[in-house]
């Protein structure tokens, strides 16, 4: 049985016929295949047109990404990787005469990288303008380990020393100035050798824990480490504090940056004076034409991470250095607590006003409200310029004050969900009186009255938590003992929630002990439970 097809099929057939007619009409307009192939061949043989700078930049980025993905296992691969890194940093790259030595250079310094036939690194020598060439173990190690990111960082750091708007002769003095400053800071650090406790070395000494320049890595000063920085969350342990750890806590690196003309040292300015009792103290020499030179630069302490800082402390630093913090605009100051919480919680648009901060602990749930102090405004600081070695210890003192203040407040920031049960929630109100004093108000867990804990942060080695409750007086032994206990916890953990938790538990423990003693007395029995309170107050820990 024959079928004439559906209407839809007929429409498709008609469309196909029309398309074929169009193709036949168009085909007569095209040249024969052999003519097109000839034209294409001639085009390929012609001189290529130059691409513009934007296209060249995009193409180079793609090539560099591909280069980073190629495993370096030959001489050619190593050379190509070094050339790629040099190009990205704007440095010159050229081959030596032996075929196994390669040079990475700027106008003020160069590296000589000596390779083996297999591509392994044999030696890396660094030569600064006007100074002797020497091997650099740090650069050798990072290339042997194929840590090209670290190699790039070191090269960039070396280049930054000479980023001055000046002639080559003037630039050559920049490295001498930086080395003189580093020598003075090393002298100051040597006076701290009698401090054996890492905590006091980092938090109480003039330059903190000093790590000398390593290849292209700038000198580093670690000035604050919170107990939270020592937590190993994976293994659930707290690592011991050590001055050898350079990747934790708050630190600054010592470097130079371009600025207006300042008189910078070209010789050491610090000498050591030993008094009759044998105590050594530093003596800072005055800047004179003989020991300084005018340079369009200044020294700078670059913070390892931006820090929200009170305007009052920034002004104190500027009074010491007689220079403005170029990265900090005081006119853009905002409420300090909001800035700290935004920076600590990675929520740039969130204000602390009426925003509860929930903290879940193993046996307690806390809710913190922060009250802004109108007199406390802050800005974000990333670097601090200075011109004399005597400025460093004073700058670190103010940075340390701010780091402690920030650390205590951010201890209330936890990435936890709002608790479902609000009945067991303890409310706290935190009010900053200054960057060295905090007031915490909350309900007494036993007496159902208002209690206040005032934190005195003046001495980082002897933090004070003075506790006041409505039923006791300031001179009460109970108040004194409670304050001493809370201060020990605060000193150990640098944490408001953990201090408050321990304080509440101590009151609850004491109440339970008193209740049990009373019940035994009323029942005619006798039992000494004096150790119960000691147990509750004996472990001011982090958990």
Residues 185 and 73 in one domain: no
User: Which pLDDT score, from 0 to 100, does residue 541 have?
Assistant: 47
Statement: residue 473 has pLDDT above 60? no
Distance CA 417, CA 503 (A): 24
Q: What is the dihedral of CA 57, 58, 62, 63, to 10 degrees?
A: -30
User: Which pLDDT score, from 0 to 100, does residue 297 have?
Assistant: 95
Distance CA 203, CA 496 (A): 19
Distance CA 299, CA 262 (A): 10
Query: What predicted TM-score, i.e. pTM, was given to this entire model?
Result: 0.82
Please give the tally of structural domains in the chain: 3
Residues 184 and 206 in one domain: yes
What confidence tens digit (pLDDT) does each residue in 158-174 have? Answer: 999 998 888 888 898 99
325-329, 482-486, 537-541: the lowest-pLDDT one: 537-541
Residues 311 and 173 in one domain: yes
Strand partners, 334: 378
Statement: residue 6 has pLDDT above 60? yes
Compute the average pLDDT of residues 365-388: 94
Indicate whether 35 belongs to any domain. Answer: no
What confidence tens digit (pLDDT) does each residue in 230-259 have? Answer: 988 888 888 888 888 778 899 999 999 999
User: Which pLDDT score, from 0 to 100, does residue 348 have?
Assistant: 58
User: Which pLDDT score, from 0 to 100, does residue 244 have?
Assistant: 81
Indicate whether 20 belongs to any domain. Answer: no
Residues 246 and 109 in one domain: no
Where a domain ends, among 376, 410, 444? 410
Distances (CA, A) of 18 to 8, 15, 478: 16, 5, 102
Please name which of 3, 120, 115, 27 lies closest in space to residue 73, comparing C-alpha atoms.
120
Distances (CA, A) of 186 to 32, 208, 222: 81, 11, 14
What the block records as the tokens of 87 is 């190009």
User: Which pLDDT score, from 0 to 100, does residue 143 have?
Assistant: 94
Q: H or E element: which one contains 86?
A: helix 75-88
User: Which pLDDT score, from 0 to 100, does residue 522 have?
Assistant: 67
How many CA within 13 A on the CB side of residue 126?
14
Residues 84 and 208 in one domain: no
Statement: residue 150 has pLDDT above 60? yes
What confidence tens digit (pLDDT) does each residue in 13-64 have? Answer: 888 888 888 877 777 667 777 777 777 777 766 656 566 777 777 777 787 7
Phi/psi at 111 (5° precision): -110, 140
Distance CA 148, CA 141 (A): 11
Q: Characterize the bridge pairing of strands 425-434 and 365-370.
A: parallel
User: Which pLDDT score, from 0 to 100, does residue 542 have?
Assistant: 53
Contact 139, 126 (CB under 8 A): yes
Compute the average pLDDT of residues 383-388: 96
Is residue 38 helix, strand or coil?
Answer: helix
What confidence tens digit (pLDDT) does each residue in 130-146 have? Answer: 788 889 999 999 999 99
DSSP notation for 295-339: EEEEEEEEEEEEEEEEHHHHHHHHHHHTS--TT--GGG-EEHHHH
Strand partners, 72: none
Give the length of the chain. 543
Q: Characterize the bridge pairing of strands 464-469 and 450-456.
A: antiparallel
Strand partners, 326: none
User: Which pLDDT score, from 0 to 100, does residue 328 have?
Assistant: 65
User: Which pLDDT score, from 0 to 100, does residue 477 have?
Assistant: 47
Measured over all CA atoms, what is the biggest interatomic distance in the chain, rounded to whole angstroms?
126
Please name which of 67, 320, 291, 39 lies closest in space to residue 181, comparing C-alpha atoms.
291
Helix%, strand%, coil% for the chain, nearest 5 = 40, 25, 35
What confidence tens digit (pLDDT) does each residue in 71-119 have? Answer: 888 999 899 899 989 988 999 999 998 889 999 999 899 999 999 999 9
Residues 365 and 253 in one domain: yes
Indicate whether 85 belongs to any domain. Answer: yes
User: For all residues of the chain together, what is the average pLDDT?
Assistant: 86
Residues 89 and 217 in one domain: no
Residues 201 and 58 in one domain: no
Residues 197 and 321 in one domain: yes
What domain range is 481 assigned to? Answer: 436-536
Q: Which residue has the higher pLDDT, 422 or 305?
A: 305
Indicate whether 317 belongs to any domain. Answer: yes
127-131, 392-396, 435-439, 455-459: the lowest-pLDDT one: 127-131
Q: Map tokens 């000093």 to a residue.
A: 210
Question: Residues of the chain with pLDDT > 90: what percent?
Answer: 56
Indicate whether 106 belongs to any domain. Answer: yes
Distance CA 197, CA 204 (A): 10
What the block records as the tokens of 434 is 């200054």
Interaxial angle between packed helices 311-321 and 390-410, expressed in degrees from 0 to 180 and rounded to the nearest 10: 170
Q: Characterize the bridge pairing of strands 121-128 and 134-135.
A: antiparallel
Where a domain ends, among 127, 160, 193? 160
Query: What 8-state DSSP symbol labels residue 214?
Result: B
Indicate whether 127 belongs to any domain. Answer: yes
351-360, 424-433, 438-447, 528-537: the lowest-pLDDT one: 528-537
User: Which pLDDT score, from 0 to 100, does residue 70 have?
Assistant: 74
Distance CA 336, CA 65 (A): 41
Indicate whether 422 belongs to any domain. Answer: no
Residues 178 and 291 in one domain: yes
Residues 154 and 179 in one domain: no
Q: What is the dihedral of CA 256, 258, 263, 267, to 10 degrees?
A: 30
User: Which pLDDT score, from 0 to 100, does residue 420 have?
Assistant: 66
E runs forming strands in 116-194: 121-128, 134-135
Strand partners, 357: 368
Indicate whether 2 belongs to any domain. Answer: no
Residues 147 and 268 in one domain: no
User: Which pLDDT score, from 0 to 100, does residue 532 have?
Assistant: 34
The model's confidence at residue 474, banded by pLDDT at 50, 70 and 90, is very low
Where a domain ends, among 160, 180, 199? 160
Is residue 482 helix, strand or coil?
Answer: helix
Q: How many CB atoms lie within 10 A of CB 227?
A: 18
């Amino acid at each position: 049985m024959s079928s004439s097809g559906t209407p839809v099929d007929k429409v498709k057939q008609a469309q196909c016929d029309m398309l074929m007619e169009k193709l036949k009409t168009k085909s007569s307009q095209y040249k024969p295949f052999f003519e097109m192939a000839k034209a294409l061949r001639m085009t390929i043989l012609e001189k290529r047109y130059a691409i513009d700078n934007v296209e060249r930049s995009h193409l180079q980025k793609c090539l560099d990404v591909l280069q980073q993905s190629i495993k370096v296992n030959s001489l050619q691969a190593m050379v190509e990787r070094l050339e790629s890194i040099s190009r990205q940093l704007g440095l010159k790259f050229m081959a030596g005469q032996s075929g196994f030595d390669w040079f990475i250079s700027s106008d003020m310094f160069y590296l000589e990288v000596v390779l083996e036939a297999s591509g392994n690194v044999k030696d890396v020598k660094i030569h600064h303008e006007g100074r002797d060439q020497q091997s650099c173990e740090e650069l050798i190690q990072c290339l042997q380990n194929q840590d090209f990111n670290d190699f790039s960082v070191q090269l960039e750091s070396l280049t930054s020393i000479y980023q001055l708007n000046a002639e080559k002769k003037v630039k050559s003095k920049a490295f001498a100035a930086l080395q003189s400053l580093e020598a003075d800071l090393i002298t100051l650090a040597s006076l701290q050798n009698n401090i054996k406790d890492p905590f006091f070395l980092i938090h109480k000494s003039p330059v903190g824990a000093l790590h000398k320049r390593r290849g292209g890595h700038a000198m580093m000063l670690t000035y604050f480490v919170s107990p939270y920085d020592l937590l190993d969350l994976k293994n659930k342990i707290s690592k011991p504090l050590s001055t050898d750890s350079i990747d934790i806590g708050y630190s600054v690196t010592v470097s130079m940056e371009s600025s207006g003309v300042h008189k910078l040292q070209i010789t050491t300015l610090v000498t050591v004076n030993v008094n009759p009792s044998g105590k050594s103290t530093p003596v800072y020499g005055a800047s004179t034409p003989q020991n300084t030179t005018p340079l369009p630069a200044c020294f700078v302490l670059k913070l390892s991470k931006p820090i929200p800082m009170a305007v009052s402390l920034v002004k104190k630093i500027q009074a010491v250095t007689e220079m403005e913090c170029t990265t900090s605009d005081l006119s853009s100051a905002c409420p300090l607590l909001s800035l700290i919480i935004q920076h600590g919680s990675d929520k740039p648009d969130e204000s602390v006003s009426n925003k509860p901060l929930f903290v879940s602990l193993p046996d307690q749930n806390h809710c913190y409200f922060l009250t802004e102090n109108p007199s406390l405004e802050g800005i974000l600081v990333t670097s601090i310029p200075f011109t004399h070695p005597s400025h460093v210890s004073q700058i670190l003192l103010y940075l340390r004050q701010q780091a402690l203040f920030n650390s205590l407040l951010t201890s209330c920031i936890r990435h936890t969900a709002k608790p479902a049960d609000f009945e067991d929630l303890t409310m706290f109100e935190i009010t900053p009186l200054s960057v060295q004093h905090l007031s915490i108000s909350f309900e007494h867990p036993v007496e159902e009255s208002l209690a206040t804990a005032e934190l005195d942060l003046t001495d980082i080695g002897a933090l004070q938590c003075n506790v006041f409750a409505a039923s006791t007086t300031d001179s009460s032994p109970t108040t004194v003992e409670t304050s001493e206990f809370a201060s020990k916890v605060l000193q150990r953990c640098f944490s408001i929630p953990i201090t408050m938790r321990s304080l509440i538990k101590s009151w609850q423990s004491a109440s339970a002990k008193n209740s049990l003693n009373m019940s035994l007395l009323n029942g005619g029995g006798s039992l000494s439970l004096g150790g119960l309170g000691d147990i509750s107050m004996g472990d001011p820990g982090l958990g």
